[in-house]
Structure 1
Amino acid sequence: MVQERRAAGLPARRFAVLHRRELMAALAAAGMVPAVTRAQGAFPSRAVQMVVAFPPGGQADVTARPTAAALERVFNQPVPVVNRPGAGGIIGSASVARAAPDGYTALMALSSLGVLPESERIMGRPPAYTVDQLAPIARITADPTVLLVPASSPWRSVGDFVADAKKRPGAISFGSAGNYSTLHVAMAMFTGAAEIDLLHVPFQGGGPALTALLSGTVNSLSSGPGPALAHVKEGRLRALASWGRERIPGFEDVPTFIELGYPDVEFYIWTGVFLPAATPEPVQGRWRDALRQICQQDEALRRALDAAGSPIAYQDGEAFDRFFRDDTARLVKAVQRIGRVE
């Protein structure tokens, strides 16, 4: 048959297409279609990695672990959480920006994601990644940060804290997840509005910064409510104020900075899933569908995040893309006001 069609003068490309179709038809009839052909378009067909650019214990990690567990129930594949800390989140974020755009490596990011490239420019370094290298898939949570101090400290209110800081400029320290990190920017907003000078002590992530506060290594911290809630309930830490427009569930007795007369001190630490920008749209869509499903229907995920004091605030598609761009622009301005940090 092949020789007869070639003799009939069919073009070589047309001949190759016919030959391939005949071969596949014969294989299908014999039940021998290759597995790779049957699996085309099926995602995921193996484990999916979720990178957290910070050590365990911080807001991104607290959100990533129950989210990954819920995704395993939808993807029917393992979704290991990989902590890849360093440089305030730059190392892990850059690793995902450079990862193969196949959907098998995702990033659970914080709001600092968009400002870290600008911080590197301020420091005179070329950015390790740019936001255009990452595709925003979905926001999972969006919480105001809370100002924490040890329960044994003398500060029972923001007024106490500010008054002491004005008496002793540079004597009171605060921890952060690194220079220009989410927790650093939030405190910079507060110290600027209150006109106080605190000593900044950067760590490799929110988890180590919280540990430092608990151990007395630093005196204060802006933290996501999730990692802080249990320690506040146990009486180890005291929450003085929150950066939200409204009081936070679980912290109903804690006033907002807006209530206390600081109208411009408003900040949210959000978590969101990102993929390499070149990831095909069908794979991005599969991720969005899965994340939307678990955030709307998975009660175990909802309970876990509620218990952590960080309820689901789901957003995807154009809404999340717009939110991310607007939030990044606002935070970049704050980082530019901080300036170069030696």
Structure 2
Amino acid sequence: MTVLACALGVTGLAQAQSSYPNRPISLLVSAAPGGTTDISARMIAEPLGRALGQSVVVENRPGGAGAIAGQAVARAKPDGYTLLLQYSGFHVITPHITPKLPWDPIKDFKPVANVLSAPQVLVVREGLPFKSLRELVEADKAAPGKLNYASSGVGSLQQVSTELLNQMAGTKLMHIPYNGTGPAMNDLLGGSVDLTITTPPPLLPHIAAGKLRPLVVTGEQRLASLPDVPTAAEAGYPELLVSSWFAMYAPAGTPDEIVDRLSEEIRKIMETDEFRQKAEALGAEARYMDPKALGAYTQEELDRWGKVIKAANITQE
């Protein structure tokens, strides 16, 4: 009787997997509507729903630097009906600075696919004379601590990216944290702070207007939207390779069959001209990673930023 029950249970699981999905899927987003994380989710949700024959419903669960959405997905039934679209800063930086985080970025999730990657752009405010990153570095070394940089908060990718530059170049750029990118941009444009590193979308209009000057792009190649701006490697700082990335995860224990199907459908969507063009308009790239590649990259990024955070002594206190 026990053997029969087990056999029936296995058969039922197999049938459930083979009929997946047979109801709408919830895609939880770790940020409020309007940001790049939310945009990434909505870019993939609608075509993914068409491909699967079921709606993929985006649910915004902002708060706790990704902790609220992360916890909800980590505790969800691993059946493929609750997924997470996560911002890399929340997934590989928050765990290093948040005590008692209610989820583990590796143990509690199963990688599905990377959806978008967006390099950072280092910009200086109007009125500063620097035309290159090397000039900025030389000026800071001549007067250590005089120049400051804005970030969207303690532990943000903007902060750890600039601290990486400090560690690489021997600079002492001073950190001015803000409660979000918007307030940081306001003070940068107003002249209260000198520079920032962040993703292209909030910067491009002000660069075009001459209010901000871009010095380097922190990606592997130049941006189509900023073709004259060198990469950090071209500027002599190859280790300043930084991207925000936006990836999909499922709860740990989700069957491989389900994860592989989701990942394959996402790959097909990301290869379309429509998706690639939308990504480029955001100053991002459609950089697909399958579950294995995303898992390895997640661990690599977790380790990399952990070292930077420790060396810079970044804490929430």
**Could you say whether these structures have the same fold, taking a TM-score greater than 0.5 normalized by the shorter chain as the test?**
yes
Select the residue among 260, 264, 274 that pairs with 2:249. Answer: 274
Report the CA distance between 1:200 and its aligned residue.
2.9
Correspondences of 1:212-291 after superposition (within 5 Å): 213=188, 219-291=194-266
Select the residue among 288, 311, 317 that pairs with 1:337. Answer: 311
The separation in 2 between residues aligned to 1:13 and 1:324, in whole angstroms, is: 40
Gaps of 5+ in 2: 9-13
The separation in 2 between residues aligned to 1:161 and 1:235, in whole angstroms, is: 18
Report the CA distance between 1:330 and its aligned residue.
1.4
The separation in 2 between residues aligned to 1:13 and 1:43, in whole angstroms, is: 26
Report the CA distance between 1:41 and its aligned residue.
4.0
CA contact (8 A) 1:118 1:127 kept: no
RMSD, aligned CA? 3.3
Higher mean alpha-carbon deviation, 215-224 vs 184-193, is at 215-224
Which residue of 2 is the match for residue 118 of structure 1? 96
- For residue 115 of structure 1, give the secondary structure of its aligned residue in structure 2: helix
CA contact (8 A) 2:126 2:191 kept: no
CA contact (8 A) 2:189 2:212 kept: yes
Deviation string, structure 1 residues 37-85 (Cα, Å, up to 9, x no partner): 9977433333323223233444323322212232232233333333333
The separation in 2 between residues aligned to 1:184 and 1:278, in whole angstroms, is: 34
Which residue of 2 is the match for residue 34 of structure 1? none
Which residue of 2 is the match for residue 189 of structure 1? 164
The separation in 1 between residues aligned to 2:28 and 2:182, in whole angstroms, is: 16
CA contact (8 A) 1:171 1:199 kept: no
Higher mean alpha-carbon deviation, 103-112 vs 128-137, is at 103-112
- For residue 293 of structure 1, give the secondary structure of its aligned residue in structure 2: helix
The separation in 1 between residues aligned to 2:257 and 2:2, in whole angstroms, is: 33
Deviation string, structure 1 residues 144-168 (Cα, Å, up to 9, x no partner): 2111344566554435544565537
CA contact (8 A) 1:88 1:179 kept: no
For this pair of structures, how many residues does the alignment match? 306
Change (3 A) 1:13 1:71: closer
- For residue 66 of structure 1, give the secondary structure of its aligned residue in structure 2: helix
The separation in 2 between residues aligned to 1:137 and 1:66, in whole angstroms, is: 16
Report the CA distance between 1:277 and its aligned residue.
1.0
Which residue of 1 is the match for residue 11 of structure 2? none
Which residue of 2 is the match for residue 67 of structure 1? 44
The separation in 2 between residues aligned to 1:78 and 1:210, in whole angstroms, is: 36
The separation in 1 between residues aligned to 2:54 and 2:71, in whole angstroms, is: 25
Change (3 A) 1:103 1:186: same
Change (3 A) 1:322 1:221: same
Q: Structure 1 length as normaliser, TM-score?
A: 0.76
Correspondences of 1:44-123 after superposition (within 5 Å): 44-112=21-89, 113-120=91-98
The separation in 2 between residues aligned to 1:13 and 1:333, in whole angstroms, is: 50
Which residue of 2 is the match for residue 309 of structure 1? 283
Change (3 A) 1:65 1:209: farther
The separation in 1 between residues aligned to 2:202 and 2:45, in whole angstroms, is: 18
The separation in 2 between residues aligned to 1:200 and 1:55, in whole angstroms, is: 23
Deviation string, structure 1 residues 169-227 (Cα, Å, up to 9, x no partner): 26623113x322322211111133331231231435x5665566557675432212345
Which residue of 1 is the match for residue 145 of structure 2? 169
CA contact (8 A) 1:55 1:85 kept: yes
Is 1:294 aligned to 2:272, yes or no?
no
Report the CA distance between 1:106 and its aligned residue.
1.9
Report the CA distance between 1:119 and its aligned residue.
1.8
The separation in 1 between residues aligned to 2:266 and 2:290, in whole angstroms, is: 9
Report the CA distance between 1:273 and its aligned residue.
0.9
The separation in 1 between residues aligned to 2:224 and 2:298, in whole angstroms, is: 24
The separation in 2 between residues aligned to 1:280 and 1:220, in whole angstroms, is: 46
Select the residue among 328, 333, 337 that pairs with 2:302. Answer: 328
Gaps of 5+ in 1: 1-10, 21-36
Report the CA distance between 1:283 and its aligned residue.
2.0
CA contact (8 A) 1:110 1:271 kept: yes
The separation in 2 between residues aligned to 1:309 and 1:12, in whole angstroms, is: 57
